[in-house]
Amino acid sequence: MKVMILGIDGYIGWPLALREIEKGNEVSGIDNFFTRRRVREVNSDSVIPISTMQKRISAVREKTGARINFYRGDVANPSVVIDAVKKEKPDVVVHLAEQRSAPYSMIGLKQATQTMVKNIVSTLNLIYAIKDVVPHAHILKLGTMGEYGTPNIDIPEGFFEVQYNGRKDYLPFPKQAGSWYHWTKVHDSNNLMFANRVWRLGITDVMQGVVYGTRTTDINRTGLRTRFDIDEVWGTALNRFCAQAVAGLPITPYGKGGQTRGFLSLEDSISCLDLSISKPPAEGEYRVFNQFDEHYSVMQLAQMVKEVFEHDTGKEAVIRNVPNPRVEAEEHYYNPEHKKLAEMGYRHSRELKDEISIMLEDLAAHRPRIEALSDVISPHTAWKSSGIN
C-alpha cells in the first residue's frame, strides 16, 4: 500500500512512518518544518533531540532498507499537495500537517489568522487533490476530541439521533471547541463531511485524545526518536508535569485541575491510525472515530506524575496549582463514547502509569535541556488577553 503522511516530521508523523515501513508499506511524506520553527520562536526546543529530516531518512534506509520519498513544502500551498499526490498516487493520505497548539492560536490575531487559514486551506487542498487525482484514495484526517468541548451530555462518535418537534434525524453532534485551533478542526470536519456528501470521497475523521509518551515499538527497535515538547505553548499538560518533576520544579495544574480530557499513548495512537489505514472506509463512506483510551482530570494527571516520580526516584515532587490562563470549565461532566475502533479489533496496550515511568526516565537523560527551558514551561498565553498584537 502507498501511504502518504502530511506532517511526517512531527511527533505522530515520524513514528507512524516507522510503523508503516515496518508493515511493508511504501511511505512518502510532506513537511515544511513549521513545528520546529514555531517551537524555536517561543525560545523552546524538543527536549528529546531529533535529527534533520535528511539524516532521519538516511537512518531509515540504513536500518530498514526502505526509502521515504520526502517533499519539503507548505501543505497550505495547493501545488505542493497536488504535485506530490500526482507523483505518488497514494492509496491513503494521512493529514497531520496542521498547527496543533491551542495556546499558539490564542496569542493574538496574527496567530489566530495563520492557524485558521493554514489548517483549513490545507485540508481543502487535500480534498481537491484526492478528488481530481486519486478519487478512490482514503483521506485519514486528524481532528481532536477537543472539537466536542465539554457538553453536559454523553458525546457520541460524530453523529447522534435527534428528536425535535416530533421528527427524528441522525445528525452531526454540535461542537463547542475551546480555542481557535480547536475551531479549525471543527471547520475541517464540516468541510470533509461536505466533500464526502458531494463527491463520495472515502474519509476517516479521527477525534483524537491527548497523546502521551516518548516511545513506540518501532522507536525502540530502530532507536529513531520523535520530538517531545514541554513549553507552555507546544507541550501538553502531562509533558509539562513530567518535565517539571524531573527538573525539581513544582508540578503546576491550571486552576483547580478538574478539566477532564481523553488520553492515549503514542504506541496506541499509532496502532489506531495503522488499523484505520489497513481497514479503510467503504466506498463513499465518511466515518468518525473517537480515539482515546481513558479520561483523566488534569489534577489526576498531576497526582499520578507525583506518585510515579516519588516511587521511581525516592525524591519528593510538589504540586502547586496556578491561575488558569484558559477560559474553560474547570469542573464538568465528561463521558465520550469510543467503541468503533474496538469493534474493528483495536486493543489498548499501554497503561498511563507505566508510560509516565518511561517518560520520566527518558526526560531524566536530558535534565540539563529541561533546566535550560524552565522559563518557558509556566503559562504566559492567556485567552482573555489575546489581542491585535
Nearer to ligand NAD by Cβ, of 211 and 311: the residue is 211
With CB under 6 A as the rule, give the number of residues binding ligand NAD.
29
Burial of 317 per CB tally in 10 Å (0-12, 13-18, 19+) = buried
Q: Taking the CA atoms of 44, 49, 52 and 53 in sequence, report the sign of the dihedral they define.
A: negative
Nearer to ligand NAD by Cβ, of 50 and 245: the residue is 50
User: Per-residue x/- marks for ligand NAD, 137-176, CB under 6 A?
Assistant: -----x-x--------------------------------
Question: Is 296 one of the annotated active-site residues of the chain?
Answer: no
Of the residues 3, 11, 53, 102, which one makes contact with ligand NAD according to CB under 6 A: 11
Burial of 365 per CB tally in 10 Å (0-12, 13-18, 19+) = exposed
The stretch near ligand NAD (CB under 6 A) out of 29-37, 50-58, 318-326, 340-348 is 29-37
Q: Which parts of 264-303 interact with ligand NAD (CB under 6 A)?
A: none
Q: Taking the CA atoms of 291, 294, 300 and 301 in sequence, report the sign of the dihedral they define.
A: negative
Nearer to ligand NAD by Cβ, of 97 and 201: the residue is 97
C-alpha cell at 338: 469510543
The CB density around residue 165, as the number of other CB atoms within 10 Å, is 4
Q: Which of 141, 175, 185, 306 is catalytic?
A: 185
Contact between 45 and ligand NAD by CB under 6 A: the answer reads no
Q: Which of 115, 123, 144, 150 is catalytic?
A: 144
How far, in Å, CA of 112 to CA of 284, rounded? 33
How far, in Å, CA of 52 to CA of 30, rounded? 14
Residue matched to cell numbers 491550571? 254
Strands, E assignment, 165-265: 167-172, 202-208, 210-212, 260-265
Contact between 46 and ligand NAD by CB under 6 A: the answer reads no
Question: Is 113 one of the annotated active-site residues of the chain?
Answer: no
| Residue type, position 64, single letter | T
The set of catalytic residues is 144, 181, 185
Could you list the residues that contact ligand NAD (CB under 6 A)?
7, 9-13, 30-35, 74-76, 96-100, 118, 122, 142, 144, 208, 210-211, 227, 236
